[in-house]
């Protein structure tokens, strides 16, 4: 039996408190709260602009109009809506492309990606552990040449000292810098009964936020095993 990590221990420790929360409100009280909310007016509170905020609202509207005018001139037009370079600064990473199935996990890919066997294969050796081999891999490509690959390593991979640790939900992830391999690569530690496996997510031109989102889209919320 494997040792639980700190997040699992914390999750377990909070369970009684969450169970207590469930008993705070019974069905009757919940319905009464709902009735009170539905009886309250909906739209007035939001639409009314207090007099002291009116100048601010006018300035805001003017700024918005200016922004619309600038955008309509094409000054900030994005190069491609389906390309692989969507920015990680955006809060939402759209993963509406094809799904890649791998070792029972289903990973979503960015918009515009379809399954492909033409993406170049990654190096057979991996940074930190040259003898570690890829057990299985799936890839997807976009029309403009982008590639995303997900893979499972067949045995424990050693985290190279230059890897940057990063949290991927309840999992430990490590980013390997592009100087070692030609693209940003995310390794995610997946605890299992037989030991640790690593999920690898790599893609040309993908942001770190996209790599993390792809990994998260296929992994269960909490590590199993």
Partner 1 sequence: MADERERFERLYREHFRAVLRFAAVRIDPERAKDVAAETFLVAWRRLEDVPDEPRAWLLGVARKVIAGQFRSQSRRDALAARLRATDVEDTPADPASALADRDEVLAAFAALGERDREVLRLIAWDGLSNAEASDVLAITRLAFAVRLHRARRRLVGALEPESPSPAPPKRRRHADARS
Q: By the criterion CB under 8 A, which residues form the site for partner 1?
A: 6-22, 24-25, 29-30, 33-34, 36-38, 40, 42-43, 45-46, 87-93, 159-170, 172-174, 177, 184, 207-209, 212-213, 216, 221-222
Contact 224, 112 (CB under 8 A): no
Specify the residue, 11 or 135, whose C-beta has the smaller distance to partner 1: 11
Nearer to partner 1, 22 or 117 (CB): 22
Distance CA 27, CA 66 (A): 50
CB of 212 to partner 1, least distance (A): 6
Minimum distance from residue 9 beta carbon to partner 1 (Å):
5
Choose between 43 and 72: whose C-beta lies nearer to partner 1.
43
Min CB(73)–partner 1 separation in Å = 27
As a whole number of angstroms, the distance between CA 108 and CA 95 comes to 6
Name the E strands within 99-221.
Answer: 99-102, 105-108, 113-115, 134-142, 147-153, 164-168, 171-176, 185-192, 195-203
Task: For residue 178, give the 3-state DSSP assignment.
Answer: coil
Show the CA angle centred on residue 139, arms to residues 224 and 201, nearest 5°. Answer: 50
Least distance to partner 1 from the beta carbon of 97, Å? 16
């Amino acid at each position: 039996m494997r040792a639980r990590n700190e997040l699992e221990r914390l999750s377990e420790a909070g369970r009684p408190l969450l169970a207590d929360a469930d008993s705070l409100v019974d069905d009757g009280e919940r319905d009464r709260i709902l009735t009170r909310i539905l009886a309250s007016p909906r739209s007035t509170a939001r639409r009314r602009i207090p007099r002291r905020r009116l100048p601010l609202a006018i300035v805001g509207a003017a700024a918005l109009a200016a922004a619309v005018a600038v955008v309509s001139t094409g000054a900030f037009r994005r190069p491609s809506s389906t390309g692989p370079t969507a920015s990680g600064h955006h809060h939402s990473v759209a993963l509406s492309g094809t799904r890649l199935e791998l070792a029972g996990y289903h990973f979503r890919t960015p918009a515009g990606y379809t399954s492909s066997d033409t993406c170049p294969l990654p190096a057979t050796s991996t940074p930190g552990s040259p003898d570690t081999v890829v057990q299985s891999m799936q890839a997807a490509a976009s029309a403009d040449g982008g590639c995303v690959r997900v893979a499972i390593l067949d045995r424990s991979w050693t985290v190279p000292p230059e890897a940057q640790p990063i949290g991927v939900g309840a999992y430990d992830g490590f980013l390997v810098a592009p100087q070692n391999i030609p693209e940003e690569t995310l390794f995610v530690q997946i605890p299992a009964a037989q030991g640790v496996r690593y999920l690898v997510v790599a893609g040309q031109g993908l942001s770190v936020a996209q790599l993390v989102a792809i990994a998260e889209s296929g992994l269960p919320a909490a590590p199993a095993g």
